[in-house]
Structure 1
Amino acid sequence: MYDRLQRYYAHAISDNHLHDANRLSLHLSENRELILDKTKLTEEEIVLLKTLFDGKEIQLVPEDSQDRLIYEWLIDEKQIDIGEIEKIISTPVRFIHLHINGELPEREEFAEAVQGLFPSAKTLLWKTIKEAVIIQQINSEFDEDLSVQSIIDTITADFFVKVSLYIGSPILACADIFERYEWETTLFSNVIKSFPRKSFFIEQDITNYFLLHNLPPSSLQMMNKMIKPVMNDKTLLESVKTYLECNMNASLAAKKLYMHRNTLQYRVDKFIEKTSIDIKQFPNAVAVYLMLVSFES
């Protein structure tokens, strides 16, 4: 049924960035959802589709007046005086971007739960039915040592959906918020297409994923040939990747991998011997790290 409706209403399928007033969400029996643009349908079609498929007009615009103003500024891109924004948002803040894969009927409960998992979260805004952004204040309640993977596991267990997160960089001035929001949104929307299995991204690594996303497949294949001698040794590659993520600090990497430092050092030396790439040198380490990240796509 989904495929037939998709073909028949191909002219009206939404890109998920419609304003609330123009969005029609059809809930189908096979637990799938189809979003249509009501401006491209007749009144008769809208009534019929609502009747047959439990059509709902999902409300994304917040009811709270302050949240609505931020929504109109960031998501609807309306011209709002920065002085009005400064009355609502106290910097420094950061964005936490969410992408949801799965059906989410309990939207309000989800928003409340997610905000509770991130201390000092000011508000959650729905960009589309699958995408949201949290504005988190960096204040006395802020916890920098949160386990992001634990948060994702909790959300998955409670709401039966797969969630991808991107935790952005601190923003020190309100004047920089809009530009940072647009940049981080662009980064996140691109990398989750190429790396759907990765559950979260942080400010330190997402640029690498973005660069890889924009490389042609032929370039990636050429890069990966350099580590062909060890490509099938997953344990070795995991150890080397962790070593590089720990800034080539063998003691820290060994601790994260729950192994003796000498064992890790042996694996690093083994990688160098088999590939002839000295990853103890920073330029080589950067190149190899990008190759290892590309395997996740």
Structure 2
Amino acid sequence: MLDKLKVKYPNAVSGNEPRQSDGEFFWFRDSSGTIGIPKEEISSAEASLLQLLFPHNEEVFLSRNASEMKRQWSEFLYQNDRSLPVTSWKKVRFIHFSSPTSDFSYLDFEEAFTSLVSGDSVIVWEDENRGAIIEGESDSSLDDPDFFSIVQTLESDFYVKIQAFSGHYHLMDENLQTHFQMEQKSFELAKKHSLDTRMFTLPDVFPFAVLDGLAPEEFTWFCEELLGDAGKDEELIGTVKTYIECNSNASLAAKKLYIHRNSLQYRIDKFIEKTGLDIRTFQHAFPAYLCLLKKEE
């Protein structure tokens, strides 16, 4: 969408170009970045229409992300600045969140959240009611059930509905922005298909993404995220595929593989530990199986 606006308004500037005075531009944002259109080149009617299509308040974005750390992260994540933020973290994950209303104090929200978690997590805002929590990997990192409890607590304290998507930990490298954007897209898909669910993870979203249609590189990204290093272990993934095809019947799968049932159970436990996918449940077995089929192509 932003590329089409740049064609229509050739003097528009992107969010990662040197900043101009906010008073000279109308600013619009989507998941791919930010664009500023000179006010003298756009009618008031066009501006009003675009504000409906891109409900973003640049002033709010800048004021809520005013600290140096927040500014670096917000420009990297939401304005496609390619410079990695300065941090001591080796790996980070993003917990995307949104609320249908902005009728709460964002400062109180941040204070409440940071009081419930350990470490030096930071919150950056995309607009009045959407943003991301950035958490560095550490021994005290939250697991998903713990974070779900925090979401429930915040909902109770602020009387708002909160939906969140918990991503995987990623290295602080040149691929981090791509991971963020794919997770952001995944979160939007999840909310579209499951309005009442509060907390999403990648296995929850993958079937929705397949249903909506994935480009080959997007399908590959999902499978690499879901399988991780386990996807390189041919014996392990062969065992898991057979186990799922046997309707999770361990005795039948062990017989087909000509191995002892205890050996099968060891491999299943190893796969669960490596991927976080509990293939004993349909919810996780289904996305795992789709990825295993993809690997055979």
Q: Normalised by the size of structure 1, how large is the TM-score?
A: 0.52
Describe the superposition over 1:230-274 as per-residue Cα deviations: whole angstroms up to 9, x where unpaired.
Answer: xxxxxxxxxxxxxx9xx9599xxxxxxxxxxxxxxxxxxxxxxxx
Q: Which runs of 4+ in 1 moved over 6 A?
A: 279-282
Percent of counterpart pairs with the same letter? 22
SS class of match (1:135) = strand
List gaps (5 residues or longer) in structure 2: 1-44, 215-243, 251-278, 291-297
Name the structure 1 match of 2:69. 66
Q: 2-side partners of 1:158 and 1:75: how far apart?
A: 28
Tell me the amino acid that sits aligned with residue 66 of structure 1. Answer: M
Q: Give 1:63 deviation, angstroms.
A: 1.7
Q: Give 1:145 deviation, angstroms.
A: 6.2
Q: Is the 8 A contact 2:94 2:133 kept in 1?
A: yes
User: Which of 52, 75, 100 is the aligned partner of 2:78?
Assistant: 75
Q: Does 1:11 align with 2:10?
A: no
Correspondence 1:144-293 to 2 at 5 A: 144=143, 146-214=145-213, 248=248, 286=286
Tell me the amino acid that sits aligned with residue 65 of structure 1. Answer: E
Name the structure 2 match of 1:100. 99
Q: 2-side partners of 1:12 and 1:86: how far apart?
A: 31
User: Cα–Cα, structure 1 residues 119 and 212, in superposed 2: closer, same or farther, change >3 Å?
Assistant: farther
Q: Is the 8 A contact 2:69 2:85 kept in 1?
A: no
Name the structure 2 match of 1:52. none
SS class of match (1:101) = coil
Name the structure 2 match of 1:261. none
Tell me the amino acid that sits aligned with residue 63 of structure 1. Answer: A
Q: 2-side partners of 1:59 and 1:100: how far apart?
A: 19
SS class of match (1:126) = strand
Correspondence 1:25-64 to 2 at 5 A: 59-64=62-67
Q: 1-side partners of 2:201 and 2:66: how far apart?
A: 30
Q: 2-side partners of 1:211 and 1:158: how far apart?
A: 36
Q: Is the 8 A contact 1:61 1:71 kept in 2?
A: no
Describe the superposition over 1:49-92 as per-residue Cα deviations: whole angstroms up to 9, x where unpaired.
Answer: xxxxxxxx675541211220111111111342xxxx36325121
Q: Normalised by the size of structure 2, how large is the TM-score?
A: 0.52
List gaps (5 residues or longer) in structure 1: 1-6, 22-56, 216-243, 251-278, 291-297
Q: Is the 8 A contact 1:95 1:133 kept in 2?
A: yes
Q: Give 1:161 deviation, angstroms.
A: 0.5
Name the structure 2 match of 1:133. 132
Q: How many residues in Structure 1 have an aligned counterpart in Structure 2? A: 184
